[in-house]
């Protein structure tokens, strides 16, 4: 195999109660990448379509992630004499809160690993993709790259050492994601957070994390819904997102199990049981932003249990 074309899925991190630890993978929202083996050593970003992003390897999240993978492969197997040319076709807008940088970083390592006949297991690729996240927002977080690579839901139990648990999605779980067309940088969304939280709120939060994980394993949609609360981050961050309260309320009134900020925003997600409810929520959310004259994009997707796909 000299060339690979892959679908790089968008992801929803945090999922209300699971700030910095939980994420899920979307199915029909994402970028595409074409990666080609080259006789010239090194990593080159040869083409970016759909976004104004740097082509310099060291300045590009896909480039940085690929370099981290190559370094590890060489440490494991010895020098690699070939190189890789990467084309990125972006559909996920930067700063949307659905894992735009993660899709590129994870896609690069997934594709190159496949072209090298899988020296690493998919789970082990998370650490390399995280280097792309570090470039994108200063923080090597895994809650988008892990679900992008592994699919379904992922829990980052620990960073030191890195310990990622994949949880299969209940079969009828759908996400609706609305992206109001304002840009909210992850770094800005992080800067509003407080360094300390009340023990009382923290206890409620980990009760809900436990409930959400239990709901996923038992396919208990009601329990998933009851657990989708964020005591800590949403009350602070949601004021940065126009219409947040109304969008969330609208989602819940239209049958959502729960709703919250996707990643660091500004996208807002709702989870629901079944495609019909997810579509109904999308229609109702759209009406809210139309009434506000705010441009938006909207996505409806099953949770994608596979993650990255070769296409």
Interacting residues toward its own copies by CB under 8 A:
17-22, 155-158, 163, 165, 167, 193-200, 202-214, 217-218, 223, 226-227, 232
| CB contact at 8 A, 309 and 10 | no
Q: Which of 11, 154, 186, 277 is catalytic?
A: 186
Q: Which residues pair with 272 in a beta bridge?
A: 174
**Cβ closest to its own copies, residue 130 vs residue 212:** 212
Q: In angstroms, what is the minimal distance from the CB of 161 to its own copies?
A: 9
Token couple for 222: 């009601």
186 assigned to active site: yes
Token couple for 117: 């006949």
Backbone φ and ψ for 2, nearest 5 degrees, come out as -105, -10
Neighbouring residues of 204: CB distance < 8 A, sequence distance ≥ 6: 229, 231
Q: Which of 133, 231, 234, 297 is catalytic?
A: 133
133 assigned to active site: yes
Q: In angstroms, what is the minimal distance from the CB of 243 to its own copies?
A: 26
Token couple for 86: 């990467």
In 55-87, which positions are buried (b, 16+ CB within 10 angstroms) versus exposed (e)? eebeebbbbbbbbbbbebbeeeeeebeebbbbb
Compute CA distances 66 → 45, 48, 160, whole Å. 10, 16, 22
Q: Helix or strand or coil: residue 229? A: coil
Q: In angstroms, what is the minimal distance from the CB of 230 to its own copies?
A: 11
**Cβ closest to its own copies, residue 84 vs residue 153:** 153
**Cβ closest to its own copies, residue 47 vs residue 157:** 157
Q: In angstroms, what is the minimal distance from the CB of 73 to its own copies?
A: 27
**Cβ closest to its own copies, residue 119 vs residue 207:** 207
Neighbours of 283 (CB within 10 A): 13
**Cβ closest to its own copies, residue 172 vs residue 220:** 220
Q: In angstroms, what is the minimal distance from the CB of 162 to its own copies?
A: 11
Q: List active site positions.
A: 133, 186
């Amino acid at each position: 195999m000299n060339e690979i074309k892959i679908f790089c899925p968008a992801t929803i991190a945090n999922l209300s109660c699971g700030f910095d630890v939980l994420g899920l993978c979307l199915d029909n929202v994402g970028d595409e990448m074409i990666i080609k083996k080259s006789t010239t050593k090194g990593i080159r970003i040869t083409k970016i379509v759909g976004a104004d992003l740097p082509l310099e390897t060291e300045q590009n999240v896909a480039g940085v992630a690929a370099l981290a993978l190559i370094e590890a492969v060489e440490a494991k197997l010895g020098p690699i004499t070939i190189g890789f040319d990467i084309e990125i076709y972006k559909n996920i807008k930067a700063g949307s809160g659905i894992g735009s940088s993660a899709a590129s970083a994870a896609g690069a390592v997934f594709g190159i690993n496949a072209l090298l006949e899988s020296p690493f297991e998919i789970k082990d690729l998370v650490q390399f993709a995280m280097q792309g996240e570090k470039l994108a927002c200063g923080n090597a977080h895994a809650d988008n790259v892990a679900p992008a690579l592994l699919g379904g839901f992922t829990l980052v139990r620990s960073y030191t050492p890195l310990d990622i648990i994949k949880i299969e999605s209940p079969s009828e779980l759908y996400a609706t994601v609305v992206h109001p067309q304002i840009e909210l940088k992850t770094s800005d969304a992080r800067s509003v957070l407080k360094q300390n939280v009340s023990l009382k709120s923290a206890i409620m939060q980990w009760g809900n994390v436990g409930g959400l994980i239990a709901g996923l394993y038992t396919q208990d949609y009601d329990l998933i819904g009851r657990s989708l609360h964020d005591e800590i981050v949403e009350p602070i961050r949601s004021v940065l997102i126009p219409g947040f309260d109304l969008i969330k309320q609208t989602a819940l009134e239209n049958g959502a199990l729960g709703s919250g900020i996707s990643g660091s925003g500004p996208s807002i997600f709702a989870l629901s049981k079944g495609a019909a409810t997810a579509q109904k929520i999308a229609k109702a959310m759209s009406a809210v932003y139309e009434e506000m004259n705010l441009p938006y994009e909207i996505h409806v997707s099953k949770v994608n249990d596979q993650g990255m796909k070769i296409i």
